[in-house]
Structure 1
């Protein structure tokens, strides 16, 4: 007769122990524990068994914590979409993202920008403005994104930027960070990439050599 209370306690405690175990397994790891701030508004969050994610504190995106892993909520819908899940194959992620894009957004991803100088040049080639003012006005940093760059990135959905010259490697890096922060906070958070035309000689034509004197 004395075994009945023991059995009762056992069967009552067993489900409770399972709940405690499941709670420990599914508990979300605080983002702050894995967060690192190297500077310049860039935040890094490290996955123990996965990639280190970088994002800008200016973009407004949030980090999702799922099963002690971190993911960027690029489209800000509060859930993990397939294209945001770095555990999935690239083809599957690309297919998911393309299914969400409009024809105009896809078209923008197939285009290149006009030649860009960082900062803008004073002549007709590689020119531009900052909040409506020329760079010579002294109100902009060399690493700021120009009005024209904002237009083709945000309005035309371009993500391929063609560079001709940069003032220095540091300026190029800061400008790139500013540009990535801008596009990361828009739509589906698709990043931009930069490239430059090959320069085989100084007589290749002004279109390709106008900015060749930059310290790249």
Structure 2
């Protein structure tokens, strides 16, 4: 594992812990709102700009302007609902996007990433498997969005903060690792791909493969 990857993982863990503490002890503070939302919106802005996705770029800019106005106004009455909207909304949006890629004759979301990683060559077995992985992520995103709402309504705020800040990244990591182990056990013919290569493939704008399933 490279030093750069280790530093990145360390930064994610540190940010998750700090976010949990801020939500527990300073959730209503304007500076805390900026600290919690700013580091999430800026990478989204950069990714949308790099991929030339104008709807996402417009939405992210609007969210940044709203964040600036909220901080300038001194916060919100019940900022916890804003945190819920961010956590559940992101997962719901991703679920809808991945589900939409399963429609039609083209490639699913994960199939498109694999298409880039393997030089535009996907065997029928690879395409079937990556389509199933796309369905897995659809289930995860919708399930996490629903769980976020349920915990927010029925459990203490500390439990929701634990779910949003610590358990969510852990769950994502478990899905990634579990899928990786299953992939190379069931399909040893798949070329081994590094995490860095997968991230680069996700960031690239691919116009060579049609959307859909």
Question: Per the shorter chain, which TM-score range?
Answer: under 0.3
Structure with bigger gyration radius: 1
Higher percent of residues as helix = 2
| Structure with more relative contact order (C-alpha pairs < 8 Å, separation 6 or more) | 2
TM-score (norm 1): 0.25
